[in-house]
Amino acid sequence: MNGDVFVVDDNPDNLTLLVGILRRQGYRVRVADSGRRALEMIRALLPELILLDISMPEMDGYEVCRELKRDAATNAVPVLFISALDDAGDKVRGFESGAVDYIGKPFQAPEVIARVESHLKLGRLQKALEARNAELSRLNAEKDEFLGIAAHDLKSPLSVIRGYAEMLREHPETDDETRDAYLARIAMASSRMAQLIQDLLDVNAIERGALVIRTEPVDLAEAARLVVEAHQESARAKGQTLRLEEPTGSARALADAVFLPQMIENLVSNALKYSPHGKPVLVRIANAANTLRLEVVDEGPGLSADDQAKLFGKFARLSAKPTGGEHTTGLGLSIVKRLVESMSGRVGCISTAGAGATFFLELPAA
Protein backbone atom coordinates (compact mmCIF):
# COMPACT_ATOMS: atom_id res chain seq x y z
CA MET A 1 0.00 0.00 0.00
CA ASN A 2 1.28 3.50 -0.73
CA GLY A 3 0.52 6.73 1.08
CA ASP A 4 1.88 10.01 2.43
CA VAL A 5 2.74 9.77 6.10
CA PHE A 6 4.08 12.55 8.29
CA VAL A 7 6.11 11.72 11.42
CA VAL A 8 6.71 14.15 14.27
CA ASP A 9 9.21 13.23 17.00
CA ASP A 10 11.90 15.26 18.79
CA ASN A 11 14.05 12.17 19.30
CA PRO A 12 16.27 11.63 16.22
CA ASP A 13 16.71 7.90 16.88
CA ASN A 14 12.98 7.31 17.08
CA LEU A 15 12.47 9.37 13.97
CA THR A 16 15.04 7.37 12.01
CA LEU A 17 13.56 4.10 13.19
CA LEU A 18 9.97 5.01 12.28
CA VAL A 19 10.93 6.47 8.93
CA GLY A 20 12.87 3.28 8.15
CA ILE A 21 9.90 1.06 8.95
CA LEU A 22 7.50 3.17 6.91
CA ARG A 23 9.75 3.69 3.88
CA ARG A 24 10.43 -0.05 3.69
CA GLN A 25 6.66 -0.48 3.37
CA GLY A 26 6.67 1.88 0.39
CA TYR A 27 5.19 4.94 2.07
CA ARG A 28 6.33 8.47 1.24
CA VAL A 29 7.44 9.94 4.53
CA ARG A 30 8.12 13.51 5.63
CA VAL A 31 9.33 14.39 9.11
CA ALA A 32 9.62 17.22 11.61
CA ASP A 33 11.39 17.28 14.98
CA SER A 34 9.16 19.86 16.62
CA GLY A 35 5.44 20.69 16.84
CA ARG A 36 5.82 24.15 15.32
CA ARG A 37 7.79 22.91 12.35
CA ALA A 38 5.31 20.07 11.85
CA LEU A 39 2.33 22.44 11.75
CA GLU A 40 4.05 24.61 9.14
CA MET A 41 4.98 21.68 6.92
CA ILE A 42 1.60 19.97 7.25
CA ARG A 43 -0.23 23.16 6.34
CA ALA A 44 2.01 23.62 3.31
CA LEU A 45 1.28 20.10 2.04
CA LEU A 46 -1.29 17.80 3.61
CA PRO A 47 -0.21 14.22 4.34
CA GLU A 48 -2.75 11.40 4.52
CA LEU A 49 -1.81 10.43 8.06
CA ILE A 50 0.21 11.88 10.94
CA LEU A 51 2.24 9.93 13.51
CA LEU A 52 2.74 12.23 16.46
CA ASP A 53 4.97 11.96 19.53
CA ILE A 54 3.42 13.34 22.72
CA SER A 55 6.33 14.44 24.90
CA MET A 56 8.15 17.18 23.05
CA PRO A 57 9.63 20.44 24.38
CA GLU A 58 7.85 23.78 23.66
CA MET A 59 4.72 22.37 22.08
CA ASP A 60 3.63 18.88 23.04
CA GLY A 61 1.74 16.41 20.86
CA TYR A 62 -1.66 17.14 22.46
CA GLU A 63 -1.31 20.79 21.59
CA VAL A 64 -0.19 20.05 18.02
CA CYS A 65 -3.15 17.71 17.60
CA ARG A 66 -5.66 20.24 18.96
CA GLU A 67 -4.20 22.87 16.65
CA LEU A 68 -4.57 20.54 13.63
CA LYS A 69 -8.17 19.73 14.57
CA ARG A 70 -9.10 23.40 15.05
CA ASP A 71 -7.96 24.31 11.56
CA ALA A 72 -10.49 23.35 8.87
CA ALA A 73 -7.66 22.89 6.38
CA THR A 74 -5.95 20.15 8.43
CA ASN A 75 -8.72 18.79 10.56
CA ALA A 76 -9.58 15.83 8.35
CA VAL A 77 -6.09 14.29 8.48
CA PRO A 78 -6.07 11.40 10.97
CA VAL A 79 -3.53 11.64 13.80
CA LEU A 80 -2.00 8.60 15.56
CA PHE A 81 -0.12 9.19 18.78
CA ILE A 82 3.09 7.32 19.39
CA SER A 83 4.20 7.65 22.97
CA ALA A 84 5.99 6.13 25.92
CA LEU A 85 3.37 7.74 28.19
CA ASP A 86 1.33 4.68 28.60
CA ASP A 87 -1.32 4.97 31.28
CA ALA A 88 -5.00 5.10 30.46
CA GLY A 89 -5.25 8.83 31.27
CA ASP A 90 -2.64 9.72 28.63
CA LYS A 91 -4.45 7.68 26.04
CA VAL A 92 -7.77 9.30 26.88
CA ARG A 93 -6.19 12.75 26.65
CA GLY A 94 -4.84 11.75 23.24
CA PHE A 95 -8.29 10.79 21.96
CA GLU A 96 -9.79 13.91 23.51
CA SER A 97 -7.37 16.09 21.60
CA GLY A 98 -8.69 14.51 18.39
CA ALA A 99 -6.44 11.53 17.64
CA VAL A 100 -7.85 8.36 16.07
CA ASP A 101 -5.40 5.88 17.60
CA TYR A 102 -2.53 5.38 20.02
CA ILE A 103 0.62 3.29 19.71
CA GLY A 104 2.72 2.68 22.83
CA LYS A 105 6.53 2.95 22.87
CA PRO A 106 8.57 0.85 22.52
CA PHE A 107 6.63 -0.11 19.44
CA GLN A 108 6.81 -3.21 17.27
CA ALA A 109 7.19 -2.62 13.54
CA PRO A 110 4.29 -4.94 12.54
CA GLU A 111 1.91 -3.10 14.88
CA VAL A 112 2.92 0.30 13.51
CA ILE A 113 2.46 -0.94 9.96
CA ALA A 114 -0.90 -2.57 10.68
CA ARG A 115 -2.31 0.52 12.38
CA VAL A 116 -0.96 2.91 9.75
CA GLU A 117 -2.43 0.77 7.02
CA SER A 118 -5.84 0.46 8.61
CA HIS A 119 -6.10 4.21 9.27
CA LEU A 120 -4.99 5.03 5.74
CA LYS A 121 -7.76 2.75 4.46
CA LEU A 122 -10.32 4.28 6.80
CA GLY A 123 -9.25 7.78 5.80
CA ARG A 124 -9.67 6.97 2.13
CA LEU A 125 -13.06 5.39 2.67
CA GLN A 126 -14.12 8.45 4.61
CA LYS A 127 -13.00 10.74 1.80
CA ALA A 128 -14.77 8.65 -0.83
CA LEU A 129 -17.92 8.71 1.28
CA GLU A 130 -17.80 12.47 1.65
CA ALA A 131 -17.32 12.94 -2.09
CA ARG A 132 -20.24 10.61 -2.79
CA ASN A 133 -22.35 12.47 -0.28
CA ALA A 134 -21.59 15.81 -1.87
CA GLU A 135 -22.46 14.37 -5.30
CA LEU A 136 -25.76 13.00 -4.00
CA SER A 137 -26.67 16.36 -2.45
CA ARG A 138 -25.90 18.05 -5.74
CA LEU A 139 -28.04 15.56 -7.66
CA ASN A 140 -30.84 15.95 -5.15
CA ALA A 141 -30.79 19.74 -5.49
CA GLU A 142 -30.80 19.35 -9.27
CA LYS A 143 -33.81 17.03 -9.07
CA ASP A 144 -35.64 19.53 -6.85
CA GLU A 145 -34.98 22.26 -9.35
CA PHE A 146 -36.05 19.99 -12.19
CA LEU A 147 -39.32 19.14 -10.45
CA GLY A 148 -39.96 22.79 -9.60
CA ILE A 149 -39.53 23.95 -13.17
CA ALA A 150 -41.52 21.04 -14.58
CA ALA A 151 -44.41 21.70 -12.22
CA HIS A 152 -44.31 25.39 -13.04
CA ASP A 153 -44.28 24.73 -16.79
CA LEU A 154 -47.18 22.30 -16.58
CA LYS A 155 -49.30 24.71 -14.60
CA SER A 156 -49.82 27.31 -17.27
CA PRO A 157 -51.24 25.06 -20.02
CA LEU A 158 -53.28 23.30 -17.36
CA SER A 159 -54.88 26.56 -16.32
CA VAL A 160 -55.68 27.28 -19.98
CA ILE A 161 -57.44 23.93 -20.24
CA ARG A 162 -59.33 24.43 -17.01
CA GLY A 163 -60.34 27.98 -17.93
CA TYR A 164 -61.84 27.06 -21.30
CA ALA A 165 -63.45 23.89 -19.95
CA GLU A 166 -65.18 25.94 -17.25
CA MET A 167 -66.36 28.55 -19.72
CA LEU A 168 -67.87 25.84 -21.88
CA ARG A 169 -69.62 24.29 -18.90
CA GLU A 170 -70.96 27.56 -17.54
CA HIS A 171 -72.11 28.80 -20.94
CA PRO A 172 -73.91 26.00 -22.74
CA GLU A 173 -75.30 28.65 -25.06
CA THR A 174 -71.82 29.33 -26.55
CA ASP A 175 -72.10 29.33 -30.33
CA ASP A 176 -70.42 26.60 -32.38
CA GLU A 177 -67.67 28.78 -33.75
CA THR A 178 -66.58 30.04 -30.32
CA ARG A 179 -66.80 26.55 -28.88
CA ASP A 180 -64.56 25.20 -31.64
CA ALA A 181 -62.05 27.94 -30.91
CA TYR A 182 -62.06 27.05 -27.21
CA LEU A 183 -61.67 23.35 -27.97
CA ALA A 184 -58.76 24.13 -30.29
CA ARG A 185 -57.02 26.00 -27.49
CA ILE A 186 -57.66 23.13 -25.10
CA ALA A 187 -56.19 20.72 -27.63
CA MET A 188 -53.14 22.95 -28.10
CA ALA A 189 -52.53 23.27 -24.39
CA SER A 190 -52.86 19.50 -23.96
CA SER A 191 -50.34 18.78 -26.67
CA ARG A 192 -47.97 21.26 -25.06
CA MET A 193 -48.29 19.38 -21.79
CA ALA A 194 -47.82 16.06 -23.53
CA GLN A 195 -44.71 17.39 -25.28
CA LEU A 196 -43.26 18.70 -22.04
CA ILE A 197 -43.87 15.41 -20.28
CA GLN A 198 -42.27 13.55 -23.18
CA ASP A 199 -39.21 15.84 -22.97
CA LEU A 200 -38.95 15.30 -19.23
CA LEU A 201 -39.17 11.55 -19.69
CA ASP A 202 -36.51 11.69 -22.40
CA VAL A 203 -34.14 13.67 -20.20
CA ASN A 204 -34.79 11.28 -17.36
CA ALA A 205 -34.26 8.20 -19.51
CA ILE A 206 -31.04 9.61 -20.95
CA GLU A 207 -29.75 10.41 -17.48
CA ARG A 208 -30.56 6.98 -16.15
CA GLY A 209 -28.84 5.50 -19.16
CA ALA A 210 -32.11 3.80 -20.01
CA LEU A 211 -32.46 5.16 -23.51
CA VAL A 212 -31.33 2.61 -26.04
CA ILE A 213 -29.49 4.18 -28.95
CA ARG A 214 -29.08 2.02 -32.01
CA THR A 215 -26.87 3.42 -34.72
CA GLU A 216 -27.15 2.31 -38.32
CA PRO A 217 -26.49 3.95 -41.67
CA VAL A 218 -29.14 6.64 -42.10
CA ASP A 219 -29.65 9.08 -44.95
CA LEU A 220 -29.09 12.44 -43.32
CA ALA A 221 -30.45 14.36 -46.31
CA GLU A 222 -33.65 12.34 -46.28
CA ALA A 223 -34.16 12.97 -42.56
CA ALA A 224 -33.50 16.70 -43.06
CA ARG A 225 -35.94 16.77 -46.00
CA LEU A 226 -38.76 15.35 -43.88
CA VAL A 227 -38.14 17.83 -41.07
CA VAL A 228 -37.98 20.77 -43.47
CA GLU A 229 -41.25 19.68 -45.09
CA ALA A 230 -42.94 19.32 -41.74
CA HIS A 231 -42.00 22.89 -40.82
CA GLN A 232 -42.98 24.63 -44.06
CA GLU A 233 -46.38 25.52 -42.66
CA SER A 234 -45.11 27.20 -39.49
CA ALA A 235 -42.37 28.98 -41.46
CA ARG A 236 -44.95 30.37 -43.90
CA ALA A 237 -47.08 31.58 -41.01
CA LYS A 238 -44.16 33.79 -39.94
CA GLY A 239 -43.23 34.83 -43.46
CA GLN A 240 -39.99 32.88 -43.16
CA THR A 241 -38.43 30.81 -45.91
CA LEU A 242 -37.10 27.44 -44.87
CA ARG A 243 -34.89 25.76 -47.43
CA LEU A 244 -32.77 22.62 -47.63
CA GLU A 245 -29.65 22.84 -49.76
CA GLU A 246 -29.38 19.34 -51.19
CA PRO A 247 -25.97 17.79 -50.64
CA THR A 248 -23.83 16.62 -53.53
CA GLY A 249 -23.03 12.95 -53.12
CA SER A 250 -23.94 10.54 -50.40
CA ALA A 251 -24.98 11.72 -46.98
CA ARG A 252 -25.21 8.50 -45.01
CA ALA A 253 -24.42 8.91 -41.36
CA LEU A 254 -24.17 6.41 -38.51
CA ALA A 255 -27.06 7.48 -36.33
CA ASP A 256 -30.19 6.33 -34.59
CA ALA A 257 -32.99 6.47 -37.15
CA VAL A 258 -35.61 7.28 -34.50
CA PHE A 259 -33.78 10.07 -32.70
CA LEU A 260 -32.04 11.69 -35.66
CA PRO A 261 -35.19 13.48 -36.91
CA GLN A 262 -35.91 14.65 -33.36
CA MET A 263 -32.47 16.24 -33.15
CA ILE A 264 -32.75 17.99 -36.51
CA GLU A 265 -36.27 19.05 -35.60
CA ASN A 266 -35.00 20.79 -32.48
CA LEU A 267 -32.45 22.84 -34.40
CA VAL A 268 -34.86 23.77 -37.19
CA SER A 269 -37.69 24.67 -34.85
CA ASN A 270 -35.33 26.85 -32.79
CA ALA A 271 -34.11 28.70 -35.88
CA LEU A 272 -37.71 29.47 -36.87
CA LYS A 273 -38.84 30.18 -33.33
CA TYR A 274 -36.14 32.71 -32.47
CA SER A 275 -35.78 34.41 -35.89
CA PRO A 276 -37.88 37.50 -36.60
CA HIS A 277 -40.71 37.35 -39.11
CA GLY A 278 -39.55 37.25 -42.72
CA LYS A 279 -36.03 35.94 -42.09
CA PRO A 280 -34.72 32.91 -43.99
CA VAL A 281 -33.51 29.65 -42.46
CA LEU A 282 -31.18 27.38 -44.40
CA VAL A 283 -30.40 23.72 -43.74
CA ARG A 284 -27.33 22.28 -45.44
CA ILE A 285 -25.19 19.19 -45.25
CA ALA A 286 -21.42 19.16 -45.61
CA ASN A 287 -19.51 15.98 -46.33
CA ALA A 288 -16.04 15.74 -44.76
CA ALA A 289 -13.71 12.74 -44.65
CA ASN A 290 -15.15 10.77 -41.75
CA THR A 291 -17.97 12.97 -40.54
CA LEU A 292 -21.15 14.39 -41.90
CA ARG A 293 -22.14 17.81 -40.74
CA LEU A 294 -25.65 19.20 -40.86
CA GLU A 295 -25.96 22.96 -40.38
CA VAL A 296 -29.00 25.08 -39.62
CA VAL A 297 -28.23 28.68 -40.48
CA ASP A 298 -30.48 31.51 -39.33
CA GLU A 299 -30.43 35.29 -39.42
CA GLY A 300 -32.00 35.71 -36.00
CA PRO A 301 -30.67 37.45 -32.91
CA GLY A 302 -27.69 35.12 -32.45
CA LEU A 303 -26.20 34.34 -29.07
CA SER A 304 -23.72 36.10 -26.81
CA ALA A 305 -20.72 34.17 -25.50
CA ASP A 306 -22.46 34.10 -22.15
CA ASP A 307 -25.60 32.51 -23.62
CA GLN A 308 -23.53 30.06 -25.63
CA ALA A 309 -21.92 28.82 -22.44
CA LYS A 310 -25.36 27.91 -21.02
CA LEU A 311 -26.95 26.78 -24.26
CA PHE A 312 -26.88 23.01 -23.76
CA GLY A 313 -27.86 22.99 -20.09
CA LYS A 314 -31.27 21.89 -18.86
CA PHE A 315 -34.00 24.55 -18.82
CA ALA A 316 -31.78 27.05 -20.59
CA ARG A 317 -34.12 29.85 -21.50
CA LEU A 318 -31.77 32.54 -22.72
CA SER A 319 -31.82 36.08 -24.13
CA ALA A 320 -33.53 35.16 -27.40
CA LYS A 321 -37.31 34.88 -26.94
CA PRO A 322 -39.80 33.25 -29.33
CA THR A 323 -40.92 35.74 -31.99
CA GLY A 324 -44.29 34.18 -32.75
CA GLY A 325 -45.72 33.23 -29.37
CA GLU A 326 -44.20 29.73 -29.50
CA HIS A 327 -43.53 27.84 -26.30
CA THR A 328 -40.19 27.35 -24.69
CA THR A 329 -39.05 24.95 -22.02
CA GLY A 330 -35.32 25.13 -22.55
CA LEU A 331 -34.94 21.36 -22.75
CA GLY A 332 -34.58 20.87 -26.51
CA LEU A 333 -30.85 21.44 -26.93
CA SER A 334 -29.92 19.61 -23.73
CA ILE A 335 -31.65 16.55 -25.16
CA VAL A 336 -29.97 16.99 -28.55
CA LYS A 337 -26.56 17.18 -26.92
CA ARG A 338 -27.00 14.00 -24.95
CA LEU A 339 -28.49 12.15 -27.90
CA VAL A 340 -25.83 13.15 -30.41
CA GLU A 341 -23.02 12.38 -27.97
CA SER A 342 -24.36 8.91 -27.41
CA MET A 343 -24.10 8.49 -31.19
CA SER A 344 -20.42 9.55 -31.01
CA GLY A 345 -21.22 12.86 -32.62
CA ARG A 346 -21.42 16.41 -31.41
CA VAL A 347 -23.58 19.49 -31.58
CA GLY A 348 -22.38 23.08 -31.48
CA CYS A 349 -23.24 26.65 -32.22
CA ILE A 350 -21.30 29.34 -34.03
CA SER A 351 -22.69 32.80 -33.50
CA THR A 352 -22.01 36.41 -32.70
CA ALA A 353 -24.74 38.24 -30.82
CA GLY A 354 -26.90 40.18 -33.26
CA ALA A 355 -25.64 38.37 -36.35
CA GLY A 356 -27.62 35.12 -36.59
CA ALA A 357 -26.59 31.66 -35.54
CA THR A 358 -25.36 28.47 -37.17
CA PHE A 359 -26.12 25.30 -35.25
CA PHE A 360 -24.42 22.15 -36.41
CA LEU A 361 -24.70 18.42 -35.81
CA GLU A 362 -21.73 16.23 -36.61
CA LEU A 363 -22.11 12.49 -36.99
CA PRO A 364 -19.77 9.73 -38.07
CA ALA A 365 -20.12 8.95 -41.77
CA ALA A 366 -21.46 5.48 -42.55
Ligand X SMILES: Nc1ncnc2c1ncn2[C@@H]1O[C@H](COP(=O)(O)OP(=O)(O)OP(=O)(O)O)[C@@H](O)[C@H]1O
Total binding residues toward ligand X, as defined by CB under 6 A: 22
Question: Does 274 contact ligand X by CB under 6 A?
Answer: yes
Least separation, in Å, of the C-beta of 322 and ligand X? 8
Question: Does 303 contact ligand X by CB under 6 A?
Answer: yes
With the C-alpha atoms ordered 217, 220, 226, 230, is the resulting torsion angle positive or negative?
positive
Stretch that binds Mg ion, among 10-18, 119-127, 142-150, 263-271 (CB under 5 A): 263-271
Question: Does 317 contact ligand X by CB under 6 A?
Answer: yes
Residues between 53 and 112 with contacts to ligand X, criterion CB under 6 A: none
Query: Using the rule CB under 6 A, which residue among 14, 300, 338, 360 binds ligand X?
Result: 300
State the binding partner of 320 from Mg ion, ligand X, none, CB within 5 to 8 A by kind. Answer: ligand X
Residues between 326 and 355 with contacts to Mg ion, criterion CB under 5 A: 332
Q: Determine the number of helices (DSSP H) and then strands (DSSP E) in the chain.
A: 11, 12
Please state, in angstroms and rounded to a whole number, the distance separating the CA atoms of residues 335 and 163: 32
15 or 297: whose CB is closer to ligand X? 297
Single-letter residue type at 73:
A
With the C-alpha atoms ordered 351, 356, 362, 365, is the resulting torsion angle positive or negative?
negative
CA 38-40-42 angle, to 5 degrees, is 65
Question: Does 270 contact Mg ion by CB under 5 A?
Answer: yes
Beta-sheet strands, E only, within 236-356: 242-245, 252-255, 281-287, 291-298, 346-351
Stretch that binds ligand X, among 27-35, 38-46, 122-130, 310-318 (CB under 6 A): 310-318
Residues between 326 and 345 with contacts to ligand X, criterion CB under 6 A: 328-334
Q: Is residue 49 a contact partner of residue 120, using CB atoms and an 8 Å limit?
A: yes
261 or 300: whose CB is closer to ligand X? 300
270 or 275: whose CB is closer to Mg ion? 270
Q: Is residue 301 a contact partner of residue 274, using CB atoms and an 8 Å limit?
A: yes
Q: Is residue 358 a contact partner of residue 296, using CB atoms and an 8 Å limit?
A: yes
Least separation, in Å, of the C-beta of 338 and ligand X? 12
With the C-alpha atoms ordered 270, 255, 199, 165, is the resulting torsion angle positive or negative?
positive
Question: Does 275 contact Mg ion by CB under 5 A?
Answer: no
Question: Does 361 contact ligand X by CB under 6 A?
Answer: no
Please state, in angstroms and rounded to a whole number, the distance separating the CA atoms of residues 59 and 37: 10
296 or 343: whose CB is closer to Mg ion? 296
Classify burial at 260, counting beta carbons within 10 Å of its beta carbon; exposed 0-12, middle 13-18, buried 19 or more. Answer: buried
Question: Does 240 contact ligand X by CB under 6 A?
Answer: no
Stretch that binds ligand X, among 73-81, 142-150, 316-324, 338-346 (CB under 6 A): 316-324
Sheet holding 79-83, edge to edge: 28-32, 4-8, 49-53, 79-83, 101-104
* Residues within the interface to Mg ion (CB under 5 A): 270, 332
**Residues near ligand X (CB under 6 A):** 199, 266, 270-271, 274, 298, 300-301, 303, 311, 316-318, 320, 328-334, 357
